[in-house]
Amino acid sequence: MLQLRLWALPRPPLPACSIRQLHTTGIAKATPVAGSSTAKPAAALPKWTPNSVRTGLIARKRGMAVLWNDQGVRVPVTVLQVAASDRPAKTTTRQMLGHFKKANVPPKRIVKEFPVTPDAHIPVGTTLSAIHFVPGQFVDVVANSIGKGFQGGMKRWGFHGLAASHGVSVSHRSSGSAGNCQDPGRIWPGKKMAGHMGNKRITTQNLAVVRVDSALDLIFVKGNVPGVDDAQVLIRDAKKKMTALSAHNQAKGLYEKVLPQGVDDLPFPAGTAELAKALPPVIEAPAYRRSPFTPLE
């Protein structure tokens, strides 16, 4: 397996009092990305800074698997494929068809917005790749959890239940008393009771990117993500371990801790299909921890 450090770009220090502003418009001011036909010379391209917020990606959850790192440690991973599935034009509204036609892209089943900073705008119609995320960095994955239907208090909230032997008649899994006396004469809002469980928007934070396969547009993240297989998920840079921590360490002057260990820079403003062609198809993050199979002295 090929292992290498990809990003070795200089990071100029920023003043500690710099302010990050979010903009969801200004596409006309977007800077062409590297490798495109309208790209500017490398010196004119913007550089990633700790105050930059890049766009995210739409992906499909393909299931879970296991990998073994260079130390022989078994790592459970979730396979995410970067893809926004097309949908037939006859099932798309005319309003959305107009948007897709203006952007010169086929109709898509899911359309989402990601807040970005002004320096991270990309031209409309740019094809993004799995190389947008670097092995070794952390990401947040947003998806709808698996629906469980109507469930009781024991399964939904982990209640202990009533006695299983003496003194209870056919009420072993009952939640028991739910209300008070005449005062207040009602149930307080938000009380944990039986009801619909699951099918909620869940964000799993700080998942490490273990491997990136740009040939198949696959992203291998450590751990599990919400949702069923083949579900649509959203991937973005981790707000805590990437965005907030990078700006905090930059303000304190800890430049060697601005990015996670082994990551020197991020593709900016985005990782495109043209950039993926210039890199190896499979890139894996090496293990920086002590090998668990090495005996302690």
What's the pLDDT tens digit per position in 123-142? 888 889 999 999 999 999 99
pTM here is: 0.79
The phi, psi pair for 244, rounded to 5°, reads -70, -45
The phi, psi pair for 89, rounded to 5°, reads -65, -30
What's the pLDDT tens digit per position in 38-55? 555 444 677 889 999 999
Residue 13 confidence (pLDDT): 53
Closest CA to 55 of 147, 127, 162: 127
Under 8 Å between Cβ of 180 and 250: no
* pLDDT above 70 for 209: yes
Quote the CA–CA distance of 237 and 33 in Å, as a whole number.
Answer: 19
